[in-house]
Chains A and B, each alone.
Chain A
Amino acid sequence: MHVEKLTCALGAEISGIKLAEVGRNDDLAGEVNELLIKHKVLFFREQEISDAEHAAFARRFGELEDHPLASSADSEPGIIHIWKSPESPPERYENSWHTDAAWRERPPMGAVLRCVECPPVGGDTMWANMELAYEQLPDHIKEDIADLRARHSMEATFMAAKPADERLAMKERFPDPEHPVVRTHPVTGRKCLYTGGFITHFTNYHTAKRVRVGQDWHPGAANLLQYLISQSAIPEYQIRWRWTPGSVAVWDNRCTQHYAVMDYPPCIRRMNRATIIGDRPY
């Protein structure tokens, strides 16, 4: 197995390894798990694997979950399709900096994304290291956000364009959870900035310490939220990955955000994702 670091911030390309084999081999799976914790996102090229092998590899990290809106592979529970073509509705959910399914009480710990088909150029994916983003914050901001919590919402994002009854029914199924703005990694204990595109507002900002007059709250809270959200746009924290059919990315969804660059329409881009169940952020 050969490991090549791809940027100073995060990401490593692993070669000389077959993911189908990792799915069957405890030792290899342990090594890949350690590399994932270390590099936060791992890349593999030329992995010709079936949906079943894809799912088996992903299950080395935990059980899988489906997505309430995305279509799934018929034969393999846990493998969802993120397929775009000229006929796809003009939805734009992936090209926002986000951590997957932060709208769940227990967002996924990670995901395994495999490129089935992609345009010859375009459709890259970017990741940002949110531990680094937290570390580099000025001390006074760290102090200010230490106890802050925020609401995340599927209703306000994926469901916004749907009729009100469907939207509210989905909100019943997935009530908007509240998560800490600074999250602690359950394995490493390191802190990261836990914001992302599903966030709607801070839930406990309006305290006497922070709000002297109305404008400290509005726009004050929104200004701080915007500042925190904009941290993922800092190039020093990012990696940009160019796909080829058969390449695979595995990421730690607890301490990274990602962004699928939507520059390829009207081309076809077909990605299969296995999403690994995670725990409640703290």
Chain B
Amino acid sequence: MSTLMQIYICALSVSAFLCLYRIGMGPTPPDRTVGIDILGTLVVGFCAFMSILTGKDFYMNIGISWALLSFVGTLALAKFLERRSLDE
């Protein structure tokens, strides 16, 4: 692992911890939902770094599915915040 890659992964980890701070301390439920959404997008970046470091391409499959599942989860939480049913 090169030094540059270590710097990237440290910076992304700091970003993930800032998101976790917002998820834990957020005063309202939408704040926590924003944190979860952003954390899901950060995990896609982590998957990209994992696929570079190991040279295997299936980590990017995990990234694609994580992006889509995070999207569906955030939409469901947004609908739940609106106090509406999911099939409307």
Specify whether A and B are partners. no
